[in-house]
Structure 1
Amino acid sequence: MYKDLESILASLISIPSVNPMGRTVNPELDFEARMTDFLERYFRELGVPFLRQPIAPGRDNIVAWLPAGKADSGAPIMLWEVHQDTVPVDGMTIPPFEPAVRNGRMYGRGACDVKGSMAAMLHALGRLANERPVNAASIILACAVDEEAGGSGARGLMTRWPELTASDGLPAMPAMSIVAEPTELNVVVAHKGVVRWRCRTIGRAVHSSSPENGDNAIYRMGRVVAALERYHREELRGREPHRLLGTPSLSVGLISGGA
């Protein structure tokens, strides 16, 4: 389909695969179906086996694999994992889905996180499929959905791996993995977990000239935010730090309200 790395990356950037992350869904931009269809066409043209794993309506993981040749029957199995979705385009000052090269860098939504890495993996898989070098590992390329918000794609892949292995011919559990997050080539061996909460306070609206007759939901939320800040400062920061990750963190990231 595409032979050079730059063309692959430009194609990936031009395909919207936005994770709405709780925002109102825009059908023209959001979710990964268009990206998954592109990847399916790519794998078909390479002639490598693949499967689509439904995670949610219109959201499929897609996994391709390239077995080692007969001379490499004892070669290890390596997993390359990358996600299909991007963060939203809010605040961008350039057209997000029109890839542009300036000063040797390609710009567009997802160019760094993580379509650049996906392009590198697709290009490498294509070379391996065409050249079949001796002593190459067996490669599994897993392109997961929903990394930026819920992580349901990676969880679905992990929990259903034995089922996929038995029913679809996916190779056994890999011996090693490369996860294509932009870490500037720093080796990452630990990662914080996450719990996301959505809090809501309800009041009673009145005219602003007589607030004493109502119940201000914003004031109520202000007390919640202040309590969360105290909990972070007085409780979480005082815990024994993890040797790699430090102390637990808490962040209030978005607030809205009013009538």
Structure 2
Amino acid sequence: MTRKSEELDPVRLLERLVAVDSVNPGLAASGAGEGAIADLCADWLGARGFEVHRLERNPGRPSLVAIARGTGGGRSLMLNGHLDTVGLGGYEGEPLSPRREDGRLYGRGACDMKGGVAAMMIAAVRATARGPLRGDVLLACVADEENASAGTEEVLESFTADAAIVTEPSRLQVILAHKGFVWFDVIVHGRAAHGSQPDLGIDAIAKAGHFLVAVEELGRRLGAAEGHPRLGSGTVHASVIHGGEEPSTYPAQCRITLERRTVPGEDADTVQAELTAILDQLAATVPDFSYELRRGLHREPFEGDPDQPVVRTLLHHARSVLGHTPAVLAEPYWTDCALLDRAGIPCLLFGADGAGAHESVEWADIASLHRLTDILTDTVTDFCS
């Protein structure tokens, strides 16, 4: 391998990225954030002629947009990948010491999703090195996707493109739909009293039990519904519950946090109406049942158009590299595709193979990382020419 080819090897770049702690501090209080890894990417891309913009509305939580300007008159393409990872606690071995073994590269973030970031960075450099492109190539290396996606939101306030590809891991399959989610807190009210005085107390935890039974029934109804042709039905589960002070006191409050996964046609408003109907029915039928419903973070589901030029272009080049047409699928998890789509940017998700995202051992498949880089290189060249 020549020195020049080493510089444009996605696996070598991935090793450098994995070695940098970029744990999201919104998930782990001791998380390093994206500052150091953003510095690495900015230096690497700037040295290769990219125009680098650093966005850092939240101190220590930067996102980058690196642009290779086209000559004009062509379509622009954004490649989007997140720099943050989940925490290092519980990881088996050394999470920040990348290790190659049996065709895999191990380390925290190797799969989710520093492999995709490395591939898109190398692909953009290779594509622009082939000759002048008419359209702009934008690399959005974003913060905070693992928590609230503040990075992509901030990028989209200042930058746009004619299309986008999110390089989250997808086993070299095209993802054109995924679920959304909305979080709600349900606060069930009781009345504090000494445990020896049941005539004075109202047990908020016992009252909340009626709601938990209703949540389980809602889940059964959702599962029995026809649902979305690719994503199936929405789901609901109780994630966290808090209530009570000590054994000898009737609890005055019980708070239940719910997550409702949504499919196209559902959103935070439809879910709020669904939960309100359940809670109002309980208030009408269960003595002394009273509640508050508070909406938390919500993200919309995503459904892309298979006839968009960016989808057709990538499928064409994937077929050439892989020797077969990739499957077009949907996934239950949420990604930044939904934010790009909402901003009017046609997009899809396409990334390498691997496993262990958020788990105790994480790895990226090296061969698929090379194939991803080749497919992205050809797609950028074609789309932006």
Range class of TM-score, shorter chain:
0.7 to 0.9
Relative distance call for 1:186 and 1:55 in structure 2 (3 A) is farther
Does the 8 A contact of 1:15 with 1:35 survive in 2?
A: yes
Alignment match, 1:42: 44
Q: Output the amino acid matched with 1:7.
A: R
Question: Runs of 5+ in structure 1 lacking a partner?
Answer: 165-172
Q: Secondary structure at the match of 1:79?
A: strand
Alignment match, 1:252: 238
Query: Which of 127, 141, 158 does residue 139 from structure 2 map onto?
Result: 141
User: Looking at CA atoms only, which structure, 1 or 2, has the larger radius of gyration?
Assistant: 2
Given the alignment of the two structures, is residue 11 of structure 1 paired with residue 9 of structure 2, yes or no?
Answer: no
Does the 8 A contact of 1:55 with 1:152 survive in 2?
A: no
1:162-197: per-residue Cα shift (whole Å, max 9, x none)?
A: xx5xxxxxxxx4222111111112222222111124
RMSD (Å), alpha carbons? 3.3
Overall identity of the aligned pairs, in %: 33
Relative distance call for 1:19 and 1:218 in structure 2 (3 A) is farther
Q: Output the amino acid matched with 1:8.
A: L
Question: Runs of 5+ in structure 2 lacking a partner?
Answer: 247-385
Q: Output the amino acid matched with 2:35.
A: A
Q: Matches of 1:221 and 1:30 in 2, distance apart?
A: 38
Q: Post-superposition shift, 1:141?
A: 0.4
Q: Matches of 1:95 and 1:200 in 2, distance apart?
A: 42
Q: Matches of 2:204 and 2:37 in 1, distance apart?
A: 41
- Give the paired residue count: 238
Q: Post-superposition shift, 1:108?
A: 0.4
Q: Matches of 1:220 and 1:154 in 2, distance apart?
A: 41
Q: Output the amino acid matched with 1:248.
A: G
Given the alignment of the two structures, is residue 185 of structure 1 paired with residue 187 of structure 2, yes or no?
Answer: no
1:66-105: per-residue Cα shift (whole Å, max 9, x none)?
A: 122x4xx333211101111112234321211111111121
1:104-161: per-residue Cα shift (whole Å, max 9, x none)?
A: 21000110111001111112223345x2425575310011111112122222222x13
Q: Secondary structure at the match of 2:176?
A: coil
Q: Which has the higher contact order (CA 8 A, sep 6+)?
A: 2
* Residue correspondence of structure 1 range 178-257 to structure 2 within 5 A: 178-197=165-184, 224-234=211-221, 236-253=222-239
Q: Post-superposition shift, 1:246?
A: 1.5
Q: Output the amino acid matched with 2:223.
A: R
Q: Output the amino acid matched with 2:97.
A: E
Alignment match, 1:65: 67
Does the 8 A contact of 2:52 with 2:66 survive in 1?
A: yes
Q: Matches of 2:33 and 2:210 in 1, distance apart?
A: 35
Q: Matches of 2:189 and 2:233 in 1, distance apart?
A: 33
Q: Matches of 2:232 and 2:146 in 1, distance apart?
A: 22
Does the 8 A contact of 1:144 with 1:153 survive in 2?
A: yes
Q: Matches of 1:205 and 1:30 in 2, distance apart?
A: 45
Q: Matches of 1:24 and 1:114 in 2, distance apart?
A: 18
Q: Secondary structure at the match of 1:194?
A: strand
Relative distance call for 1:224 and 1:79 in structure 2 (3 A) is same
Q: Output the amino acid matched with 2:58.
A: A
Q: Output the amino acid matched with 1:93.
A: E
Q: Post-superposition shift, 1:247?
A: 1.2
Does the 8 A contact of 2:76 with 2:135 survive in 1?
A: yes
Given the alignment of the two structures, is residue 127 of structure 1 paired with residue 126 of structure 2, yes or no?
Answer: yes
